[in-house]
Amino acid sequence: MFHLIRKARAERGFTLVEIMIVVLIIGILLAIAVPNFVRARESSRTKACVANLKQIEAAKEQWAMDTRAGSDATPNWSDLVGPNNYMKAQPVCPSGGNYSIGNVATPPSCSISAHTQAFSGTQGGGSGT
């Protein structure tokens, strides 16, 4: 009787080969998934930065129209950001870059060149001012 109990208990466990196969499958899934997660995170950061650049561009255009500034005029952050200005808070680049406003005729830029290039690709020919 003791022999039957021992045999049943041994059949309930996993063999080393089965455990290694499961670990191998998990490793393969991670090798596929991790690069996609990293790519998706950087893509979302770029999109958020481009959205911030568009917001800065719109605030500059509104400032230029309200102040009747020429295309060579350059607003400061204090002209654009504030409770009664065009943006409530100064945007922060999600990848740690810094934004530069530039003058009215030039689009704003991010210190991370890939974000600025993505923004320039969505501009469609300039600001129109």
Which residue range(s) make up the domain with 113?
45-123
Domain count, the chain: 1
Is 90 exceeded by the pLDDT of residue 125?
no
Burial of 44 by CB count in 10 Å (0-12 exposed, 13-18 middle, 19+ buried)? exposed
Predicted pLDDT of residue 115: 85
Q: Is residue 112 part of a domain?
A: yes
The 10s digit of each residue's pLDDT in 47-100 is 999 999 999 999 999 999 999 988 889 999 999 999 999 999 999 999 999 999
Is 80 exceeded by the pLDDT of residue 32?
yes
Type and span of the H or E element at 100:
strand 99-100
Q: Is residue 94 part of a domain?
A: yes
Predicted pLDDT of residue 40: 94
Chain Cα centroid distance, residue 44: 3
Mean pLDDT score across all residues of the chain: 87
Q: Is residue 113 part of a domain?
A: yes
